[in-house]
Amino acid sequence: IRSRIERQKRFPRGARGQGRVVVRISVTRSGQVTGASVVRSSRNAQFDGAAMQAVSRAGRLPGAPAGLTDASYSFNLPMDFG
């Protein structure tokens, strides 16, 4: 999941410096993203927005392995820019 989202990450045009955004993502067993939000801002709206766009562009994510049986899973994904 991390690599799928990281491949969609783009450094925001005109942004300077670096930052870390932590995004909370909820995914169904089949890989559909049902929610995403910034839980720890980089304090730069451009980086925060770029992180959310990366999640959106990633589309359907890989499904859960057979041993995971809950209907959905939520986790925090740190994303670094710079």
Give me the pLDDT at residue 50, please.
98
Tens of pLDDT along the chain (82 residues) come to 999 999 999 999 999 999 999 999 999 999 999 999 999 999 999 999 999 999 999 999 999 999 999 999 999 999 999 9
CA distance 74 to 62: 14
Give me the pLDDT at residue 54, please.
98
Give me the pLDDT at residue 55, please.
98
Give me the pLDDT at residue 4, please.
95
How many angstroms separate the Cα of 15 from the Cα of each of 7, 26, 47, 53, 61?
A: 19, 28, 8, 15, 28
Give me the pLDDT at residue 5, please.
97
Measured at the CA of 24, the angle between CA 51 and CA 22, to 5 degrees, comes to 50
Give me the pLDDT at residue 53, please.
98
Q: Is residue 55 within 8 Å of residue 34, measured between CB atoms?
A: no
